[in-house]
Structure 1
Amino acid sequence: MTATTEPRRPGPWRAATLVGAAVLTVVLGVWFSGAALPALVLDPGPFVRWGLPVAETFVQVAAATTIGSLVLAVCVLPRREERASGARRPARTGPVADGTAYPRSLLVAAWAAGAWTLAAVAQLVLSYANVAGTSVTAPSFGDELWLYVTQISLGRTLGSVVVVAALVTALSMVVRTPTGAAWTLVLGVVALWQLAQLGHAAGAAGHDLATSALFVHLVGAAVWIGALAALAVLVRALGRDVAPAVARYSVIAGWCVAAVAVSGLVSGWLRLGSFAGLDTRYGTLLVAKVVLLVTLAGLGLWHRRRTVSAMAARTADDPGSHGTPAGATRLFWRLVLVELAVMGAVSGVAVALASSSPPVPETPPADPTPAYLVTGHPLPPELTAVRWFTEWRWDLLLAFAAAAGVVVYWRWVRRLRRRGDAWPWARTASWTAGLVLFFWTTNSGPATYGHVLFSAHMIQHMVLAMVVPVFVALSAPVTLALRALPVRATTLSGDVSRGPREWLLVLVHSRLGQFFAHPVVAAVNFVASMLLFYYTGLFEWSLRSSVGHLFMVVHFTLVGYLFVNSLVGIDPGPRRLGYPQRLLTLFATMAFHAFFGVSLVSGDSLLVADWFGLLGRPWGASAIADQQTGGAITWGIGELPTLALAIGVALAWSRDDDRTARQRDRRTRDEDPELDAYNEMLKSLND
């Protein structure tokens, strides 16, 4: 077939549909909600009232394009291996990676991050003008703005977004590898976390849940919208990579749809309070956003089932094409233009919602309790055995991670079975039990009472560090992933980009990964991190900050997994110690837990006294008595899993000895001295 390309391909300017739709919709949404009406006192003027929502829209769109472009560079776009001039390339069969779009994605990220920085500066300036009710042309505006950025929480947050966006701009211009793009992406996600602090419910009791829901929402929307916008900008450079790039993006977009839908539902319910809130202007805007979201999800489903396969077929029909095949380009733009327009509308309605007052007031209670003043939450009812399972303090980020972990693991097992490979059901059951326990520990009773009772906090900590890792390590998730995930180079010849499997291998074989997974380092880290956590300011940070709490959960779960995997795990890692050394390590760990628990039981100094000592609980034991109970819990919960691990190591040692004995017996049978002597005698008689 003669190679053909589209004579007049759509240019990157069509990606501006996103910005145009977003700006138009936010203007209409602000007008409908009445958010831009003049204030009765301290009115900043129409320029500020209308300019602030538009600036926020540009921030969201530019941030999304930056994040999306970096995601493309990290794990989506095909990438060719760089070879020295004159070096011969091995013969390729099947589709061959083009790789032209990969370096340009980093350039798009740099331009988008630069726009993000400028828009964030505009948002900062207009935000202060709106809060202070003054014009940006006021004589003292500059000095007041500086105080706003340096001394006011809202100003510091917006200022930090400007700084991070500027750093992302600089890094995007100099990084060239997927690893560099990944670190830059992490920095961009930090800025999204800062933006999540600015949502509704900042003064309400549901602030932590609202913040985590908004963060999940922002990340999901940024990757979903931004990656597609970046693909639209890069379509001319994609060439024959357009079909695999869109197929890989579609998988990511499916998870983003789930994240945006769940987080949006949680955020909307927090702000509505009840179904009666749907009758308000805020409720009408929320319904409009849900309708747009459902429409976009339907387009994405159609895209996955039909368009991706059709694009691959059109590309295969054009084997000699050096540019983007004409049929694949038309299919790409047919979908992108509609999807970008709806995405822009969703973004615009989101900004309009942020500019509107929700039905549920965000003011704190008029007569807050001591517990509310310290923790920001009402004091839960007295702890009983039933309330370990009926009281909930939701963390949407961790809950979504647990649910996603179960779904992904089951899908990998199903993929193995479809191709005829077996996977032990016990490992699947172990993973499911571990993730269910992780979900309960981070969202139910231990999370609810862990903020007000040291004993409950220690239950949460020890389950995360000692119980959940045992189930996770025995389920061998890394081994399953390496068997179930496809290899990039086998699906597209010459492609050295990193998919999930490649990134997992990079992490496992990296020097940092090998260091922390070493049995000795894992054991020392497991022991020392507990001391550092409780006898430094890290414990208080985990109580007062949602970031600190997330750090605690991730750190101790990961450290526990590395420790257990070095003893009885199945997943790959550094060379494990001999069985006697493993038992010695376990006994040393058991002794440390006993020492730490006894020190808490016998101690009379209250940890984080200005937290646990000022809650004013009318029920339960005193703070110091509860801390001593927590010490006993640390000892008990820590010793039981350790003893179980010791039994597991002993059984593995016994099985290994039996296996070695059987191998020795086989060698003995194969090399029977008496039989060899008899054969030699017969041979000598024949001679």
Structure 2
Amino acid sequence: MTTAPSTQNDAARANDPVVINRRSGVVRTLAALCAGLVLVPPPLVTILAGPAPYDLLRRSFPGLDVGILTAAGQAIADVAAMVTIGALLTLLFFRDARGRNADLLRSPLELKVLQIGSGVWASAAGAMVVFTIFDNNGQPFARLEISRALSFLYEASSFPKAWTVTLLAALVVFFFSMFIEHWTGLLIPLWAACFGVLAPVVVGQILVGPEHDFGSDAGIYQSLLTSAAFGVILLAGIRVASGRLVSVEILPRIFLLLAFTLTVVVGADLLLAWFKLAGTGFLDSVTGWQIITRWIFLAIICGLTMYSWSIWRRRRINEKRLVRVLGGMAIAIAGWVGVTAAMTRFPPPHYFVPTSISQVFLGFEVNESPTPLVLFTHWRPNILFLLLAVAAVTVYLVAVSTLRRRGDAWPVGRTVAWVSGWVVVVFVTSSGFGKYSAPDFGIHMIVHMSLNMLAPILLVMGGIVTLLLRSTKSNPKLPAGIHDWVTWALHWRVLRFIYNPLIVFALFVGSYYGLYFSGIFGEYMRFHWAHQFMNVHFLIAGYLFYGLVIGVDRPPRPLPHIGKLGFVLAAMPFHAFFGVILMSGGDIIAENFYRYLALPWADLKASQYLGGGVAWAGGEIPLLLVIIALGVQWSRQDAKDARRKDRHLDAGLDDEFDDYNRMLEKLSARQARNVRGPQLPGTKEGTSS
């Protein structure tokens, strides 16, 4: 089997017993080796460590049966999640689908893998809900005999709740995989799978200790990107093992994915090693040895990726080399998964570093009061938004460069707006404003309003969707690409539902009242992942709102200009009311959280008063500016329509006035007949009897 530009012979090759039987023995051996690398390390570490990890965490030992089952369940869930995400991404972006019906999912192998992978993932996640109830509470399975013990233990730990989220996400993917027919049907399962992968990660080892804000962001990127890259590799290996072809035109996409993801994964793993070892040597702890072992597997994956890219560039790729590369990658990925699952069985050194209350909740100290000098000079990079901004700006500039190389123009103002929007995001999340957004409510509201009201205005003026459509083309002779994906997404019914003005309005305005007056804010501020989630929510809600009002991109449900004006005017009072409530309210929002921090410079009432003022002014001023911008756009659109109509009239292309004149002539003739009255039989018009 060799790579080929199309998959027309996939079915024939898949049913050819010679092709399958020729490597069936190799496939079985490889599968057994991978299964051993995945399933052996986690239980082995659990057995060798015994009760030591539980003693270090001052937790009772639940028994080896609980520990072994939890370790094995972790490994199975991780590899199943990887295969599931790999199948989703392959179906979305790495299919050799072309032509008018490219959006139809005619990939029985990938769909079958998606169904099996998500089913196994859901089963493993469901088992992990039960296993972690006992493992993380240090209780044996015998506790099941006690009435209501299960519900009590479930509430006592974060891991069972996190695995419940994973279970629900996997079930969503499994349910959709049984019925989807079109490309857009995979978008919701993809979002669900991302949440399912992250839920157990963000409440795990990266949630505690000094600098855990860095560790959490690095862990988020590492978990998502390894699932994406390794999952796609595994799907390619499954495809080759089944005797199917790998399209030559798809290989560059896979190499591009691996180049980006593996670069970020290496950087994230270096950051995680620094965070977890907390100043200790690599050989001073079990975690250090595990990190070294995992790096060996990662180096093998990176090396094989570079080798496969090299032979592809030199057009020397063939069946034997492809099988060897994918087989070696599968073994290294299995080793990575097994060691990663084993790392969860032993507490790393950063668990035992003395921490202050601020470090427990924030990951860092905030000893100085947030003066203007501190806010503008005490920077602490927000890894999540910093990397997201770099990726967004890079994609935009590459698209602009592609457009201009083709000889097409793109307004400089839109580029400036897009870049400026991300500069605002990075500034408010990585400067002193981002650092103090958790311990000070007034600073938090400045960051909130910047992400919700200022940055989205600039981003929607960048017109990223229009740019992607203009810089790419749809070619029916090539596999579906960016232009096709964006077009399909824009016609997606779910996106039209999301862009319903009532839903966008409720999301944009209701978020303030639901978040701050329900107790959610106080609960979320205790966790770095939840704080980041809030920031992402602010940015998305603002982007949807302003995209409907002044966005360059045409939304799926556009509003007329008068509707846009009413949309903005309707939102203004809600911001004012919210600000007034904060400034005049007697209750301190998230008071318990701020009391826990016990910062000597904190003045909770003054901070909340400042936050109310920022919410009031920060909501009114941007909306007034939006009204002005909307008026300018309205005027320009009317002038543009007038010029277009004049051109049509001059060219004789517009017969609107001719139709109008003919209608007037018909009305005039009808009125004349009515004035002369009815005609008698046998008389002529104009004569009397």
The two structures have a TM-score, normalised by structure 1, of 0.78
Match of 2:625 in 1: 644
Structure-2 separation of matches of 1:663 and 1:46:
78
Output the amino acid matched with 1:611. Answer: F
- Between 514-523 and 340-349, report the one with greater CA deviation: 514-523
Cα deviation for residue 287 of structure 1 reads 3.4
User: In 1, distance between residues paired with 2:410 and 2:326?
Assistant: 40
- Relative contact order, higher structure (CA 8 A, sep 6+): 1
Equivalent residue number for residue 425 of structure 1: 412
Instruction: Report whether the alignment pairs 1:476 with 2:466.
Output: no
Does the CA-based 8 Å contact 1:125-1:136 persist in structure 2? no
Deviation of 1:248 (Å): 3.4
Aligned position for 1:349: 339
Q: 1:625-664 to 2 correspondence within 5 Å?
A: 625-656=606-637, 659=640
Q: Distance in 2 between matches of 1:582 and 1:100?
A: 38
- Aligned counterpart in structure 2 of residue 570 of structure 1, from 552, 555, 558: 552
Q: CA deviation at 1:463?
A: 0.6
Amino acid at match of 2:386: A
Matched, 1:274 2:286: no
Tell me what 2:298 maps to.
Answer: 293
Query: Tell me, what secondary structure is at the counterpart of 2:555?
Result: coil
Distance of aligned partners of 1:659 and 1:34 in 2 relative to their CA distance in 1, 3 Å threshold: closer
1:599-652 per-residue CA deviation (whole Å, 9 max, x = no partner) reads: 4334444333333466433114x3122211122222333344334333433443
Give the structure 1 partner of residue 120 of structure 2: 115
- Whether the 8 Å CA contact 2:184–2:488 is kept in 1: the answer is no
Does the 8 Å CA contact 1:466/1:641 hold for their aligned counterparts? yes
Tell me, what secondary structure is at the counterpart of 1:214?
Answer: helix
Cα distance in 2 between the residues matched to 1:613 and 1:527: 29
Deviation at 1:473, TM superposition (A): 1.5
SS at match of 2:476: helix
- Of residues 389, 395, 403, the one that matches 1:408 is 395
CA distance in 1 between partners of 2:228 and 2:649 (Å):
62
Q: Which residue of 1 is the match for residue 657 of structure 2?
A: none
What secondary structure, in the 3-state scheme, does the structure 2 residue paired with 1:383 have? coil
**Alignment partner for residue 230 of structure 1, among 217, 226, 235?**
235
Give the deviation of 1:471 after TM superposition.
1.5
> Within 5 A, what are the aligned runs for 1:150-229?
151-158=156-163, 161-162=166-167, 164-165=169-170, 168-197=173-202, 199-229=204-234
Do the aligned partners of residues 577 and 619 (structure 1) sit closer, same or farther apart at CA in structure 2, a change above 3 Å counting?
A: same
Question: Among residues 489, 495, 504, which one is paired with 2:476 in the alignment?
Answer: 489
Matches within 5 A, 1:552-563: 552-563=534-545
Partner of 1:453: 440
2:534 corresponds to 1:536: no
Identity %: 26
Q: Structure 1 residue 409: deviation in Å?
A: 1.4
Contact 2:87/2:114, CA 8 A, preserved across alignment: yes
Letter in 2 for 1:336: L
Shift of 1:125: 6.4
Give the aligned length.
Answer: 631
RMSD: 4.2
Any unmatched runs of 5+ in structure 1?
84-96, 315-326, 672-687
- 1:79: Cα distance to partner? 4.6
Distance 1:608 1:377 in 2: 20
Amino acid at match of 1:36: L
User: After superposition, what is the alpha-carbon deviation per residue over 1:159-180, rounded to whole angstroms, capped at 9, x for unaligned?
Assistant: 5545654564455344444344
Q: Is the 8 A contact 2:158 2:203 kept in 1?
A: no
1:464–1:556 contact (8 Å) kept in structure 2: yes
Q: Residue 303 of structure 1 aligns with which residue?
A: 308
Cα distance, 1:170–1:149 mapped onto 2, change above 3 Å: farther
Q: Which residue of 1 aligns with 2:23?
A: 10
Match of 1:435 among 402, 422, 441: 422
* Cα displacement (A) at 1:523: 5.4
C-alpha change, 1:34 and 1:143, in structure 2 (3 Å) is same
CA contact under 8 A between 1:372 and 1:379: conserved in structure 2? Answer: no
Are 2:7 and 1:20 aligned?
A: no
* Alpha carbons 2:474, 2:484 under 8 Å: kept: yes
**Any unmatched runs of 5+ in structure 2?**
1-8, 653-689
In 2, the alpha carbon distance for the partners of 1:667 and 1:45 equals: 84
Secondary structure, in 3 states, of the residue corresponding to 1:536? coil
Cα distance in 1 for residues equivalent to 2:244 and 2:104: 9
State whether residues 62 and 115 of structure 1, in contact with CA within 8 Å, keep that contact through their aligned partners in structure 2: yes
Instruction: Tell me what 2:5 maps to.
Output: none
Deviation of the 1:479 alpha carbon: 0.6
Structure 1 range deviating more: 414-423 or 113-122: 113-122
Query: How far is the alpha carbon of 1:191 from its aligned partner?
Result: 2.3
Query: Which of 265, 284, 288 is residue 283 of structure 1 equivalent to?
Result: 288
Among candidates 329, 334, 357, match of residue 324 of structure 2: 334
CA spacing shift, 1:129–1:612, aligned 2, 3 Å: closer
C-alpha distance in 2, partners of 1:67/1:639? 43
Contact 1:216 1:263 in 2 (8 A): yes
Indicate the residue corresponding to 1:70 in structure 2: 88
Q: Offset at 1:190?
A: 2.5
* Alpha-carbon shift at residue 477 of structure 1 (Å): 0.6
